[in-house]
């Protein structure tokens, strides 16, 4: 069975016990993203504190991969500067395009923490979108939050 | 060899199958390949697209190697023979549904056939030819669909209404996966110009009572378009008995090539419609100031047609005729009954759609408690079993039944009890893998 390469124990743990799930107030931007090929959905809110991601809260329905991905993302980005969070998203995208190349996963392991477990997903083109949906939603919500939120915590 | 062996303790009944599955499988080259590290391919996704027997592939190759030329133009021998092959296939495909050849229009697929009609109805409103305006749709008119439709038989009608100011209305669904016809008399009324309905649901498997809808449409003078994408490949169809004005279907779901679909229309209705796509092949006289058009079916076949694919579809029709559509239907009914029994025996599995084989085709959609359909599909794929997961291009249907998506198995002429057994075993494997049992 090759299934274990996709469904790493870490992924199943996030799926069964998601971190940070639920929509919370206050927030600066809310987005709703869908995967039109399968109907998976996520509603995601971002709260910024200056340039820092103060909170990401979400509700969604979808497969284990999409649900585990948003949970792992929550762990990675909350408390980080927005620019770093988005950079991590870019690196997660790189991992998803790696077609299962272990060298790519190894290089990104320290930065992506639990999310590096999704390396196996990159071997299944139909499932890559599932893993990426929440990261796309974060990128979208962050951009909106940055363009609309009043600048707080800055001196000017 | 006909599969009749019954596994002790398996529960579900295996009646003798009408088709010789082993002999048929030998005709499908793809079924001899393996997937996912040497597993036998269990192809339960014919509802999305069917596999092709060697006879269909040979027919396409024969066309390209022997007679390839542009049909209906050119005076050379190849052009004559290509035209002959194209038109012979048209006659054959027409006969398959009991229609004369001049009522058969080739399109890219079912989706394009439906769009052809939808655009013809809005083009009719502005046609310079008075004879093309009979079926024009405009403000105050109504188009009726059902909540069961594939997106291909929904979006073109939504768009037609948006273009013309007409109103879209629809028949709902009952809890047991049937059309709710209780308000048929009010939803289909004097304002209705066309009713578009599927004959077999691609997700629920339901076979709809087209005759009741046709009868009501006739009372109010509305046209009826039947989506036969999931019915023409799987049951005998006679358009005269059907009583509708249009029947649309795709070649690739009935053992034929991709890239060819069919619009059947009653001749007098087709003849009163303006063209959808325009260009070469469909014109009578062209002047810089304006042009006139050929009668059907050529009026609706602009440009060089998908000649080789039409020839391939003709071969698919030959193949199905040789098996016998009565037998194809009975074969799939036996498999469906068996599958419904097998799935009913797995705790946590819920079939979305009619629970028995009464007025039901072979699309079996289901959910597995605690496991998302994508994950069910992934485990099945790992075992070599190809199914469809998602909303099956029928998003309103999954929403109606309160599920995000389903897993769907569909059957065809090469499907045997061993395939259904593999599916049931695979579902149990998924439950074990995700620890839900």
Give the residue from B163, B235, B159, B222 showing the smallest Cα distance to B194. B222
Mark yes or no for CB contact B382/A63 under 8 Å: no
Helices (H), A61-124: 64-77, 82-96, 102-112
The catalytic residue among B393, B397, B409, B413 is B393
Shortest distance between the Cα of B246 and any Cα of chain A, in A, equals: 29
Q: What is the per-residue burial (b if ≥16 Cβ within 10 Å, else e) of B318-338?
A: bbbeebebebbbbbbbbbbbb
Among B203, B374, B406, B435, pick the best mutation site for testing chain A contact (most A Cβ within 10 A). B374
For residue B161, indicate whether it is catalytic. no
B57-321: what fold?
3.40.640
What does pTM read for this prediction? Answer: 0.93
Answer whether A28's CB lies under 8 Å from A143's CB.
no
Partner B contacted by A34 (CB < 8 A): no
Chain A contacts of B389, Cβ < 8 Å?
38
Can you read off the two tokens belonging to residue B375? 């994950």
ipTM of the complex: 0.87
Q: What's the CATH number for A3-147?
A: 3.90.1010.10
Tell me how far apart the alpha carbons of residues B72 and B82 are, in angstroms, rounded to a whole number. Answer: 8
Shortest distance between the Cα of A31 and any Cα of chain B, in A, equals: 19
Domain B21-52+324-433 in CATH 3.90.1150.10: yes
Q: Where are the domains of chain A?
A: 3-147
Can you read off the two tokens belonging to residue B226? 């039947």
Partner B contacted by A135 (CB < 8 A): no
Interstrand relation of B39-40 and A40-49 (parallel, antiparallel or unpaired):
unpaired
Give the residue from B124, B130, B162, B123 showing the smallest Cα distance to B143. B162
**B372, B391, B434: residue with CB nearest A62:** B372
Among A39, A69, A70, pick the best mutation site for testing chain B contact (most B Cβ within 10 A). A39
Q: Where are the domains of chain B?
A: 21-52+324-433, 57-321
pLDDT values of chain B reduced to their tens digit, one per residue, 437 residues = 445 444 444 578 899 999 999 999 999 999 999 999 999 999 999 999 999 999 999 999 999 999 999 999 888 999 999 999 999 999 999 999 999 999 999 999 999 999 999 999 999 999 999 999 999 999 999 999 999 999 999 999 999 999 999 999 999 999 999 999 999 999 999 999 999 999 999 999 999 999 999 999 999 999 999 999 999 999 999 999 999 999 999 999 999 999 999 999 999 999 999 999 999 999 999 999 999 999 999 999 999 999 999 999 999 999 999 999 999 999 999 999 999 999 999 999 999 999 999 999 999 999 999 999 999 999 999 999 999 999 889 999 999 999 989 999 999 999 999 999 999 999 999 999 999 98
């Amino acid at each position: 069975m090759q299934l274990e390469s996709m469904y790493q124990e870490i992924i199943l743990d996030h799926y069964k016990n998601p971190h940070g799930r639920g929509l919370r107030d206050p927030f600066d931007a809310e987005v709703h993203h869908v995967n039109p090929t399968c109907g998976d959905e996520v509603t995601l809110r971002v709260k910024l504190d200056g340039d820092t991601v103060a909170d990401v809260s979400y509700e969604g329905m979808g497969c284990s991969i999409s649900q585990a991905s948003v949970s792992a993302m929550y762990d990675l980005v909350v408390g980080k500067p927005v620019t770093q969070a988005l950079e991590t998203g870019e690196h997660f995208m790189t991992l998803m395009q790696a077609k299962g190349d272990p060298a790519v996963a190894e290089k990104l392991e320290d930065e992506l923490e639990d999310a590096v477990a999704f390396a196996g997903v990159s071997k299944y083109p139909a499932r890559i979108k599932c893993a990426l949906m929440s990261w796309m939603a974060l990128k979208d919500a962050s951009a909106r939050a940055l363009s609309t939120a009043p600048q707080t915590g800055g001196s000017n | 060899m006909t599969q009749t062996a019954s596994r002790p303790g398996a529960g579900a009944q295996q009646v003798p199958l009408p088709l010789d599955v082993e002999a048929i499988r030998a005709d499908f080259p793809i079924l001899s390949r393996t997937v996912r590290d040497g597993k036998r391919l269990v192809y339960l996704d014919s509802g999305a697209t069917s596999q092709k027997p060697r006879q269909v592939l040979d027919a396409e190759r024969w066309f390209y190697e022997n007679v390839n030329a542009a049909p209906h133009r050119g005076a050379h021998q190849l052009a004559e023979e290509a035209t002959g092959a194209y038109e012979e296939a048209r006659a054959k495909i027409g006969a398959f549904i009991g229609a004369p050849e001049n009522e058969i229009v080739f399109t890219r697929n079912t989706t394009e056939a439906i769009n052809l009609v939808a655009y013809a109805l809005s083009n009719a409103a502005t046609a310079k030819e008075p004879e093309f305006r009979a079926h024009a749709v405009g403000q105050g008119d109504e188009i009726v669909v059902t909540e069961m439709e594939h997106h291909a038989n929904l979006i073109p009608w939504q768009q037609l209404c948006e273009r013309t100011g007409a109103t879209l209305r629809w028949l709902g669904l009952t809890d047991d996966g049937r059309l709710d016809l209780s308000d048929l008399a009010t939803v289909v009324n004097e304002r209705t110009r066309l009713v578009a309905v599927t004959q077999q649901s691609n997700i629920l498997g339901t076979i709809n009572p087209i005759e009741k809808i046709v009868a009501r449409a006739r009372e109010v003078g509305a046209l009826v378009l039947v989506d036969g994408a999931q019915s023409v490949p799987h049951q005998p169809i006679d358009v005269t008995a059907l009583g509708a004005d249009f029947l649309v279907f795709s070649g690739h779901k009935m053992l034929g090539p991709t890239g060819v679909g069919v619009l059947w229309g009653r001749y007098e209705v087709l003849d009163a419609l303006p063209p959808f796509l325009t260009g070469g092949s469909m014109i009578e006289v062209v002047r810089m100031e304006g042009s006139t058009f050929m009668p059907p079916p050529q009026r609706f076949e602009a440009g060089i047609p998908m000649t080789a694919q039409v020839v391939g579809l003709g071969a698919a029709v030959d193949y199905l005729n040789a098996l016998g559509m009565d037998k194809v239907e009975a074969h799939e009914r036996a498999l469906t009954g068996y599958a419904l029994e097998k799935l009913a025996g797995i705790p946590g599995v819920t079939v979305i759609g009619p629970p028995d084989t009464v007025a039901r085709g072979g699309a079996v959609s289901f959910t597995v408690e605690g496991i998302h359909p994508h994950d069910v599909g992934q485990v099945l794929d790992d075992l070599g079993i190809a199914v469809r997961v998602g909303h099956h291009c029928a998003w309103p249907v999954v929403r109606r039944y309160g599920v995000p998506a389903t897993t769907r198995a569909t059957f065809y002429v090469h499907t045997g009890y061993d395939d259904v057994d593999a599916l049931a075993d695979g579902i149990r494997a998924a439950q074990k893998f995700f620890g839900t049992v």
